[in-house]
Amino acid sequence: MERKPLAGRRLDEPHPGRLALDHPRRAEILARHRAALDRDEAGYADPDTGLFVLSAGFLARRGTCCGRGCRHCPYED
């Protein structure tokens, strides 16, 4: 895995290129992510697909970027 520094944004802000500002369920996605962060959980179920999405907190604790384009990647591009 690639070591990168953490980005200069808060953990509750999604990666800027991976969740469109006009996504129809953006508010729900951000609420689910915030709840996962607040409960110190690894992630949440995506409301559209049901797939498990890792939280920025989990990814930051892991300490490395996997390079797979995670929605809440806390690392710099």
**Annotated domain spans of the chain:** 1-77
Inform me whether the pLDDT recorded for 3 exceeds 80: no
64 near 1, Cβ under 8 Å? yes
Inform me whether the pLDDT recorded for 60 exceeds 70: yes
Closest-CA residue to 32 (of 61, 53, 49, 16): 53
Mean pLDDT score, 46-62: 96
pLDDT tens digits, one per residue of 28-48: 999 999 999 999 999 999 999
CA 67 to chain centre: 13
72 near 20, Cβ under 8 Å? no
* Backbone angles phi and psi of 6, in degrees to 5: -65, 145
Cut 0.95: pTM above it: no
Inform me whether the pLDDT recorded for 2 exceeds 70: no
Q: What percent of the chain lies above the pLDDT cut of 70?
A: 97
Say which residues have a Cβ less than 8 Å from residue 13's Cβ, sequence separation at least 6: none
